[in-house]
Amino acid sequence: MSRGMWSWVGIGRWPSQRRGVALLGGRWAVSSMRKMEHWERVYATKKPTEVSWYRPHLELSLRLIRSANQDCGAKIIDVGGGESTLVDDLLAVGYRDITVLDLSEFALRVAKERLGAAGARVRWLHGDVTSYPLEKQAFDVWHDRAVFHFLTEQADRVAYVRQVERAVKVGGHVIVATFGPRGPLQCSGLDVMRYDADALHGEFGRAFRLVDHVTEEHKTPRGAAQQFVYCYCRLLEPVVASTGRPG
């Protein structure tokens, strides 16, 4: 992918995107290993309440998950959950089978310790979502708030979608939130993508049926506004093209 400030608008500008707008800010992508090192440093040097994406509770995420599947036995994965309190709230409303995956071992440890004895009821996975050996068709609900927009390389986005297709049950629910078109160009010193709802859904392809999309204005701990776009989809029978890109 070319470096610099690029935007794609309309039809036919980007193979994986048929409609909408995707924006890339900043200059450099970093390797997976450097990303892991980066996030360990971020979480080790900032309190949970100091990171820009912090919210006391992810009310919209919780509402969408409960709307998707009210069965307390549903298998839920929170990708990039880190120190988020979403896992606390899922346990509080009765969900019993929760997995949290994150690049930062430090962040996972903070969340586990915060939960105390309840932390033993959660499956904690440390690794990169694009390559972690997730069990096939293991999850009823896949949730990601603010991981996908860090995937500035198309190969990483393709790998991510493949992981979703592999790990989510057919008919399962996929909830992904990224920065919207008016979101920031970078986050925690890293380049990010910005999407409108059509562009975000377009990254996933025809194996995913769009159920709903929601725009949220998030206030950072310092009072800045960040636009997030949530897409909520259902996974149909996975369709992967011979090129390796989602159909």
DSSP state of 29: -
Question: pLDDT digit string (tens) for 181-215?
Answer: 999 998 888 889 999 999 999 999 999 999 999 99
Listing from the earlier edge strand, what are the strands of the sheet with 122-126?
A: 122-126, 97-102, 75-79, 139-145, 168-179, 225-235, 208-219
Query: Against a cut of 0.75, is the pTM above it?
Result: yes
pLDDT value for 235? 97
The domains of the chain are located at 20-235
Q: Which two three-digit tokens encode residue 147?
A: 């991981």
How far is 11 from 8, CA to CA, in rounded Å?
A: 9
Q: Domain 20-235 belongs to what architecture?
A: 3-Layer(aba) Sandwich (3.40)
How far is 51 from 114, CA to CA, in rounded Å?
A: 17
Question: pLDDT digit string (tens) for 229-244?
Answer: 999 999 997 655 433 4
How far is 75 from 53, CA to CA, in rounded Å?
A: 25
Q: Per this entry, what is the length of the chain? A: 247
Q: Is the dihedral of CA 119, 67, 20, 208 positive or negative?
A: positive
Nearest Cα neighbor of 216 from 180, 168, 186 is 180
Task: Report CA Rg, the chain.
Answer: 17
pLDDT band at residue 48 using 50, 70 and 90 as cut-offs: confident
Q: E strand or H helix at 160, and its extent?
A: helix 154-167
Question: pLDDT digit string (tens) for 95-123?
Answer: 999 999 999 999 999 999 999 999 999 99
How far is 196 from 194, CA to CA, in rounded Å?
A: 7
For residue 151, which phi and psi values (nearest 5 degrees)?
-85, 85
β partners of residue 217 = 227
The answer to whether 216 and 60 are in contact (CB under 8 A) is: yes
Residue 103's SS3 state is coil
pLDDT value for 88? 98
Question: pLDDT digit string (tens) for 22-32?
Answer: 665 443 344 66
The answer to whether 176 and 229 are in contact (CB under 8 A) is: no
The answer to whether 166 and 15 are in contact (CB under 8 A) is: no
